[in-house]
Chains A and B, each alone.
Chain A
Amino acid sequence: MNNTQFSDRCVEFVHLLRNKGHIVGIKELIDSMHIISAFKQPDKHSTLLSLRSLCCRNKDEWQQFEKLFMTFWYPNASAVEPNNAFQNIETASLKQQDKSISGFAGTTTSLFETIADSTDYAAGKQNTISKADFRFLNNHEAMREAENLAEKLALQLKARSRAQRKIVMKGRRMDMRHTIRRNMAHGGTPLHPVFSIQYKKPPHLVILHDVSHSMTWNNPLLFRFARGLIKACPESEAFVFHTRLFCVTKLYREKSIQQMRNKLESNNYLWLGGTCIAESLKYFNQNYAKTTLRNNAIVIIISDGFDTDSPEYLASQLRLIKSKSKQIIWLNPMLGRKTHTSDTKTLLAAKPFVDHFIPAHSVDALRSVIYKMTL
């Protein structure tokens, strides 16, 4: 391979990495080419190790790099076995996913269309829409309106959180720099002290969103609500789960709603099967709890509570989450409906660890979530 071909291959490899979500800039590309050419006899192992340090930015990228490297540079070599349990799980989960599912307003969801019936609820005005049960918002326009309301409502959380530090004339902690500057005229004697006060930061939310079959009616709005929460609290994280759990924070931060929808669907994060809440929470505890939970974290579980796992199993996982977070709030669309009941065994098992069970069947019901959060 001559120099030009080699450069082209390097560029192609960087493009492949970018497609897989790696953030690789021009600098990394140039450094990569320098590194490879620096080896007198470049071998597979040292090249792989060097490029991995240069082109990876987190644990996930680190763990998938070897596979990408081997696939690209050594396509004829035997496939690299995933070198840890994490990758095995990922591979298995990809195989399991159903590819023909959607869960949004505006997309074709036959289940939604057949179940949501038209009733007396007129969803033309905002106040009516905000009170209407999500199931009965079968009018496309009303649905959109309710989605917007849900997202706006979530953004209200931003108003409850404030900036970090501010200079004020009265307070408890004196700001020496500003005090000296202000009192230069008095020879530095602090006759007019200046203070700084600490403001609360936006809360750190962790959203665990059930996207299984039974939640299909509610999810178009709940997605928008969750997206609003994520936008209001920049440090927050979001996950969706059914029989498996996926991190979707980046998707929720997409500027365009349509893009978010497309990506959720194209990644097959939505599901028309059952729910393994406890198993999904276990996966969360094993893989994400450490990076996302902290003592000021508020965990919001959005689920109807229908679980194929045992209640004891769920309780044990919730106990772990509770031990590492400040508050757990469970949003359950079924709680606001007289005609439906949740799986009481599941909810009873979860009760000791959940601070608030809140109905989530309408925009109005969601309003109380904002005020139940301990900021």
Chain B
Amino acid sequence: MLVFKLMSNLNIELQTNGYVPDSALTTTLELMENLGRPLLIEGDAGVGKTSIASTLSKIHDCELIRLQCYENLDVQSSVYEWNYSKQLLWINSQNNQKTEHDINHIFSQDFLLERPLLKAIQQKKPPILLIDEIDRADEAFEAFLLELLSEFQISIPELGTIKAESIPRVIITSNGTRELSDALRRRCLYHYLEYPDSDREFLIIEQALPNINKKLNRQIVDFIQALRAQDLRKNPGIAETLDWSAALIGMGVKDLVESKDLISKTLSCLLKTQEDCELINNDTLEKLFNTAS
């Protein structure tokens, strides 16, 4: 029977390493640790999905292996590739007589180039394997991942099945630009990450920018939260909030409401489309300032 070790200090460790989690995320990460299952994290861009992986690698003091997904990502780029130039050189260095053994030899480990997924399962110490933005990859690649995520093994036709030396902690992120298959979802724990609430965002800014004064921090948080409530095409994420906060501190802003003109010039840190810039006109901005004050 499985024995669950609930890590009471995980929350503190995450915070110590620069990530401010909510209780739901901490619970999910504890489950991931105990069940040894991959974790699928969905949420809008900029809510802090990817940074969970880097924080976990710091906590566990292990390697972070990242696979950035994109359209047409294939096995050759993600799992393994044969070192063709080495194979050709080796073939040419041999006598003209080629035996069955020679053919088998050029498809051995000596000629194999590891890509992120293969590298992840061949580590002695369990790494953090981040499969980022899986929704950008094709369904075929998603199907290929199923074997890795359930059995932690990879089948290479020429070489056979390679089993994991240690079970990596797998984090898969998705921005939700396409629906993932049920088969993939079934193999993972699931967490939907939302934009932080105001208290959590306050802590995030405080941790990232320790010199910020509390009043300005609170005003920034209120402003950002109110901005996200607008019907924007691209809501400002945590990174945008931190960039904006750093910009304001750099410009010597002490009070958001007293520096309205300056603030409106720095909105390019937060608004990323022309439509959003048009939407946040002077009247809307005034309302946002009122919320912040």
Contact = CB atoms under 8 A, between A and B. Distances in A.
Interface of A: 23, 25, 31, 34-35, 38-39, 45-46, 49-50, 52-54, 56-59, 61-63, 164, 176-177, 180, 184-185, 187-189, 201, 235, 237, 290-292, 294, 320
Given A53-B190, A180-B84, A38 B4 contact: yes
Nearest to B135: A291
B96 A50 contact: no
B179 A237 contact: yes
B190 A56 contact: yes
A185 B98 contact: yes
Interface string B28-46: 1001001100000010000
A45 B23 CA distance: 9
B139 interface: yes
11 contacts: A31-B35, A50-B31, A56-B190, A57-B190, A58-B42, A59-B176, A164-B140, A177-B84, A187-B96, A189-B88, A235-B178
Contacts of A50: 27, 31
Given A35-B4, A235-B139, A290 B177 contact: yes
Given A31-B35, A180-B88, A52 B139 contact: no
A62 B190 contact: yes
A63 B3 CA distance: 29
A235 B138 CA distance: 10
B191 interface: yes
Nearest to B158: A177
Interface string B160-186: 000000000000000111110010011
B31 A54 contact: yes
Contacts, number: 94
B62 interface: no
B178 A23 contact: no
Interface string B83-113: 0100110011010101000010010000000
Nearest to B95: A187
Nearest to A296: B71
Given A23-B186, A53-B191, A187 B91 contact: yes
Contacts of A39: 6
B28 A49 contact: yes
A53 B91 contact: no
B24 A52 contact: yes
Given A45-B23, A50-B27, A59-B176, 4 more contacts: A38-B4, A49-B24, A50-B31, A52-B24
A185 B92 CA distance: 11
Contacts of A180: 82, 84, 87-88, 106
Interface in B121-173: 138-140
- The 3 A-B pairs of least Cβ separation, nearest first, read A38-B4, A188-B91, A57-B185
A322 B142 CA distance: 28
B44 to A, nearest CB: 8
A237 B177 CA distance: 13
Contacts of B139: 235
A261 B204 CA distance: 50
A46 B27 CA distance: 7
B70 interface: no
Contacts of B106: 180
Nearest to A24: B186
Contacts of A59: 42, 176, 192
A63 B24 CA distance: 13
A31 to B, nearest CB: 6
A177 B84 CA distance: 8
Nearest to A282: B231
Contacts of B82: 176-177, 180
Contacts of B92: 187-189
A109 B87 CA distance: 71
B178 A58 contact: no
B24 A23 contact: no
Given A53-B190, A58-B185, A176-B82, A291 B177 contact: yes
Contact of A53 (B27, B178, B179): B27
Interface in B264-291: none
Contacts of B177: 290-291, 294
A292 B178 contact: yes
Contacts of A188: 87-88, 91-92
A23 B23 contact: no
B50 to A, nearest CB: 18
Contacts of B190: 53, 56-58, 61-62
Contacts of A176: 82, 84
Nearest to A235: B139
B182 A57 contact: yes
A58 B176 CA distance: 10
Contacts of A34: 1-2, 4
Contacts of B186: 23, 25, 57
Contacts of B189: 53-54
Contacts of B191: 53
B31 A23 contact: no
Contacts of A292: 178-179
A110 B190 CA distance: 46
Contacts of B91: 184, 187-188
Contacts of B35: 31
Contacts of A320: 233
Most B Cβ at <10 Å: residue of A62, A188, A290: A188
Interface in B1-26: 1-4, 6, 23-24
Interface in B170-221: 175-179, 182, 185-186, 189-192
Contacts of A45: 23
Contacts of B138: 164, 201
A52 B42 CA distance: 14
A235 B91 CA distance: 44
Given A176-B82, A184-B91, A38 B192 contact: no
Contacts of A49: 23-24, 27-28
Contacts of A187: 91-92, 94, 96, 98
Nearest to B42: A59
